[in-house]
């Protein structure tokens, strides 16, 4: 089991906390491209650890299903079944000495309106592991073609 981080918007975090969000989608990078009837996927100069169960960095097929199977063999950057995800969200340390939570962590998702105790929120990308309050367990990882875009679909539950 490995541990990975994943960034969510404030609205997505609120949905997770209400048990309304159980999956997320992220674009597969790089994207396979289609020319006439052929799908081509070129992973480029990735190390073998990121190639998963495939032998070559270039794959061609005329079948969407074959391309889907090929992509699902790749290493998903968010992990695999039973891996843990720690959620990155907008947060701050409460430095207001007259606040009830002085010195504690505050999360933007906990507020519907304005929080007067916080002067400056810290971006989700900058959240360290120790500040994360939500851990998720990956239940399934799939690849889907939505319109003309291949995406990872990661299903999870709160730990």
Count Cα atoms within 13 angstroms, Cβ side, for 18: 10
pLDDT over 80 at 134, yes or no: yes
| Token pair listed for 150 | 């291949």
Task: Give the Cβ contact number of residue 112 at 10 Å.
Answer: 7
Choose among 129, 138, 103, 131: nearest CA to 118: 103
pLDDT digits (tens, 9 = 90+) for 74-128: 778 899 999 999 999 999 998 888 888 888 899 999 988 777 778 889 999 999 9
Q: How confident is the model at residue 48 (pLDDT cuts 50, 70, 90)?
A: low
Please list the residues that pair with 35 across neighbouring strands.
38
Q: What percent of the chain has pLDDT over 70?
A: 91
89 vs 47, more confident:
89
Q: What percent of the chain has pLDDT over 90?
A: 50
Question: Nearest 5°: CA angle at 136, between 135 and 137?
Answer: 135
Q: What CA–CA distance (Å, rounded) separates 16 from 19?
A: 5
What is the extent of the structural domain holding 111? Answer: 3-158
Q: How many domains does the chain have?
A: 1
């Amino acid at each position: 089991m490995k541990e990975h981080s994943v960034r969510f918007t404030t609205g997505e975090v609120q949905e997770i906390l209400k048990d309304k969000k159980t999956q997320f989608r992220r674009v597969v990078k790089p994207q396979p491209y289609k020319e006439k009837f052929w799908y081509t996927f070129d992973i480029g100069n990735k190390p073998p650890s990121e190639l998963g169960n495939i032998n070559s960095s270039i794959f061609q097929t005329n079948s969407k299903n074959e391309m889907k199977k090929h992509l699902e063999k790749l290493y998903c950057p968010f992990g695999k079944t039973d891996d843990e995800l720690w959620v990155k969200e907008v947060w701050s340390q409460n430095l207001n000495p007259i606040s009830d939570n002085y010195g504690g962590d505050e999360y933007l998702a906990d507020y519907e309106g304005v929080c007067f105790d916080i002067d400056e929120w810290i971006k989700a990308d900058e959240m360290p592991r120790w500040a994360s309050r939500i851990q998720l367990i990956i239940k399934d990882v799939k690849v889907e073609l939505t319109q003309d875009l291949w995406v990872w679909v990661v299903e999870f539950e709160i730990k």
